[in-house]
Chain A
Amino acid sequence: MPYDFILFLNSIRWQDIVDIALNSYILFRLYVLFRGTNVFRVLTGITLLWILQRIAAAIGLIVTSLAFQGIIAFAALIIIIVFKNELRSVLQTKNIKTILWGLHYKTIKTPIEIVVGSVYELSRRRTGALLVFPAAEDLNEFTQSGIAWHGKISREMILSIFWHDNPVHDGAAIIRGDRITEVGVILPLSKRRDLPSCYGTRHRAVAGLAEQTDALVIVVSEERGEVVVARGNSIIDIHDNLELKQVLEDHAGVSTKPVASRKRENFRLGLAAVLAFFFVSGIWFSFARGLETLVTLEIPVEYMNRSPEMQILETSINDVSLNLSGSGTLIKSIRPEQVKVRLDLGKAVVGSNTLTITPENITLPPGILLKKVTPQVVKVTLDVSIEKDLPVQADWIGKLPEGLILESATLTPSKLKIIGARNVLNKITTIYTEKIQLDNIKTSGEMTVKPALSPASLKIDPGSPDKITLTYVVKHRPPAGNAN
């Protein structure tokens, strides 16, 4: 067992460690950025669905697995569409440093004492009020008609906002940190039927916003001076200022013991980091360390560093057979362009060269191991590249219409400078044009044709034109016995 463990440790590459560490950190950062928001809860749900889908696939539940796959794909789309405001608020309100490595501890800025004092002063005066304390979620899509305020919180300001003759006193005031950011805000009304009959429009608005967002909302009753707090689906009657203070501190994430709170926060973050590491490691092992699967691929051999003066005349093989192993998932995900066999012709000479294929010549995707190469030896024949002026000849096909004679054909230029391997060019005496159809030729004329280079390794010298003008003369066949 210890020997197996040592073998296992030896088989882990530095890329694997970076792979796990990087993805663990990305997962941890997602937690830090989105914790407490609906996005995080939906992401958690998608992750659970994904785990279920993997289990379903592993035990062969085909339809279930496909259904989960569809739901996951749809849910990912839903996140982007439905939570676009939350995503935007998370990404826009934080700088790059915060996104990459800031821990974003919850900090209190709201002067709770002033808020509590103001609320009970409003209660004592029987002045109706609505105070909204947003959390992580963006409220813009739920509220309307707000008037920007951005005033620093003070008891006098709160009292004046909800003073009966103030034009904005009917709406809600939104408090972010130590500022009242908006006043006169219209909140969505709750459609719940179980609210007490004594609750009026103001209470329904409080319940409506609390149901749809993670904000905390305080309402002061105009008739009875009661203070009610709504958060989520809970509507709590507040009996004294201490209770209100406690509720506000809980909402702001403040403990009466700040050191203990910070420790608890650190513990949560540490736990999240550890869970992220184990989660990513689990995924990595499921991909990279699954049951060993073997596959044989036919891969074309690529030749590198060939001297520009030389040309490849002949190779003993064009493809090599690679016997590869790895986890089933990785083997299935191999794309042909990820596997390459490259041979270095830097030291090759004119004539026949025997090259051995070593693992260094083979590029494989991460996690895939090479078992065998067939064949292991490649013979490559190289030749020096030369230039040669070759005459060009029209390559006619088809049949000239009856009664016509193609008396002459002139090609301009009549010769082309061709570059190719010496042995190949020495055997070639003529360059032919592409096939030219005779069937449509009825009168003398001119056309442009291209040379057809064979073998394909031949090239036209850059100084020579790659198109040729063909001028031809057509005559009518003289009557029999009159020809000459």
Chain B
Amino acid sequence: MKTGILFFFLVLSITVVPPVHPQSKAGSSPDRAGEQALLVRAVMCEEVRNYSPVNPAVVFSISSGRISCFTAFDPVPGKMFIHHNWFHKGTMVTRKTLSLKPPKWSTFSSIQLREMDKGPWFIEISDSQGKIFKTLRFSITD
């Protein structure tokens, strides 16, 4: 059973790419203490290219092979962590922690699609305290 779960996570191939936004350079952001991170864009897409989501959609064919959850925050007051919680048919299948850096940041998580992944999905985007920024809903189909 444990082997199966490990295998599942391996196959999911969660990819975390925290691209540094061209404008974000460490130490260059003003002091934004007390300010909260703001989610300005969150979409499901087929891939992320040049820091932008490609073909955002709510239905993906299993033949796409891979899908991504793209999130963009502006502002980001300080270094912090967010979570992408992936749910398939109401059951959480993986939780990925991603880091955000000031002054603004975009990041994404991806999964490799398999035949058994067909059905309704949703992703909860939350901060480390569990506050949910947004829930993205989509489906994997034939």
Contacts and interface: CB of A to CB of B under 8 A. Distances in A.
Interface of A: 391, 393-400, 405-409, 428-430, 432, 438, 477-478, 483-484
A484 B52 contact: yes
Interface string B23-45: 00000000000000000000000
Contacts of A483: 46, 49, 54-55
Interface string B59-90: 10100000000000000000000000001001
B58 interface: yes
Interface of B: 46, 49-50, 52-59, 61, 87, 90, 119-120, 122, 135, 137, 139, 141-142
B135 A438 contact: no
B139 A394 contact: yes
Given A394-B139, A399-B141, A430 B55 contact: no
Given A393-B137, A405-B57, A430 B142 contact: no
Contact of A396 (B50, B122, B141): B141
Given A396-B120, A428-B90, 20 more contacts: A393-B120, A393-B137, A394-B58, A394-B137, A394-B139, A395-B120, A396-B139, A397-B139, A397-B141, A399-B61, A400-B59, A406-B58, A408-B58, A429-B87, A430-B90, A430-B122, A430-B137, A483-B46, A484-B52, A484-B54
Nearest to A430: B90
A483 B50 CA distance: 11
Contacts of B120: 393-396, 430, 432
14 contacts: A391-B137, A393-B122, A394-B137, A396-B59, A398-B141, A398-B142, A399-B142, A405-B57, A428-B90, A430-B90, A438-B59, A478-B55, A483-B46, A484-B50
Nearest to A393: B137
B49 A395 contact: no
**9 closest Cβ pairs, A-B complex:** A396-B139, A406-B59, A399-B142, A483-B54, A393-B137, A405-B57, A409-B58, A396-B59, A395-B120
Nearest to A481: B49
A391 B49 CA distance: 31
Contacts of B139: 394-397
Q: In terms of DSSP, what is the predominant structure of the interface of chain B?
A: strand
A477 B50 CA distance: 19
Nearest to A429: B90
Contacts of B119: 395
Contacts of B61: 399-400
Contact of B49 (A396, A397, A477, A484): A484
Of residues A438, A477, A483, which shows the largest number of chain B Cβ atoms within 10 Å of its Cβ?
A483
Contacts of A438: 59, 141
Contacts of A428: 90
Contacts of A396: 59, 120, 139, 141
A398 to B, nearest CB: 6
A436 to B, nearest CB: 9
Nearest to A432: B120
A216 to B, nearest CB: 91
A397 B57 contact: no
Contacts of A429: 87, 90
A484 B56 CA distance: 8
B31 to A, nearest CB: 34
Nearest to B119: A395
A405 B56 CA distance: 8
Nearest to B59: A406
Contacts of B52: 484
Contacts of A430: 90, 120, 122, 137
Contacts of B46: 483
